[in-house]
Structure 1
Amino acid sequence: MTGIPGVLPPEGAIAVIFVALRTDRDGAGYGEAAARMDELARTQPGYLGIDSVRDADGLGITVSYWADEASARGWKANAEHAAVRDMGRERWYAYYRLIVASVDRAYGWSRNS
């Protein structure tokens, strides 16, 4: 990850934590789909932001933040997102886990602020 993460979610926000191990398959297709999902998520009601990292072995963690449970469920129900999830199972992931959590508090610090 470079720079400062994108969001400090407010109390009560929903954090959707996606932990996944990538396969070696279709790297170009994955990159295009990931960029499109990032673009699409930003247009969804209740979207607050995202933090994402991936190591050299393909293990990644992405946390998206949503204003409330309904917003997070709305993203899950998005048809284009659902189609890309299916492609992820077929091509791009050896496994994944999804954790949905409520933010009790959030704080941060930056040397640059």
Structure 2
Amino acid sequence: MNTKFHPYYAVIFTSKHSNTLEGYTEMAIQMEQLAKEQPGFLGMDSARNDIGITVSYWESLDSITQWKQHSDHLVAQRKSRNHWYSWYNVKICKVEREYEF
């Protein structure tokens, strides 16, 4: 991810799977590919053990809103609530600074 540093936004999605995961992997792959095509998308990091954490990075709050309201993403959200997740939490944060080693 290259932001040529300007402040940007991170959407932190933390979740626990339910016992029903049929179709989940396919949908997750489809949503990641679709997110990459959205205006304002900067990148994504993800890890999963007992709890999953996916952080997606966006140029603006407007780009996050547009992604949340995308028709295919709305279908995935509904299936997630009804089938794939027993719990989730979303946090939206502004990244003011970053560094790495």
TM-score between the two structures when normalised by the length of structure 1: 0.84
Superposed displacement of residue 26, structure 1: 2.5
Q: Where in structure 1 are there 5+ consecutive unaligned residues?
A: 1-6
Residues 59-86 of structure 1: per-residue CA shift (max 9 Å, x gap): 1000000011111111011010011000
Query: Structure 1 residue 21 and structure 2 residue 16: aligned?
Result: yes
Out of 33, 42, 45, the position equivalent to 2:36 is 42
Q: Distance in 1 between matches of 2:2 and 2:80?
A: 28
CA RMSD of aligned residues (A): 1.2
Q: Distance in 2 between matches of 1:37 and 1:18?
A: 14
Aligned to 1:90: 82
Aligned to 1:99: 91
- Percent of pairs identical after alignment? 38
Superposed displacement of residue 52, structure 1: 0.3
Aligned to 2:52: 60
Aligned residues: 100
Q: Is the CA contact 1:19–1:61 (under 8 Å) kept in the aligned structure 2?
A: yes
Q: Distance in 2 between matches of 1:11 and 1:22?
A: 34
Specify which structure has the higher proportion of strand: 2
1:97 to 1:8, Cα distance in 2 relative to 1, 3 A: farther
Q: Distance in 2 between matches of 1:95 and 1:84?
A: 15
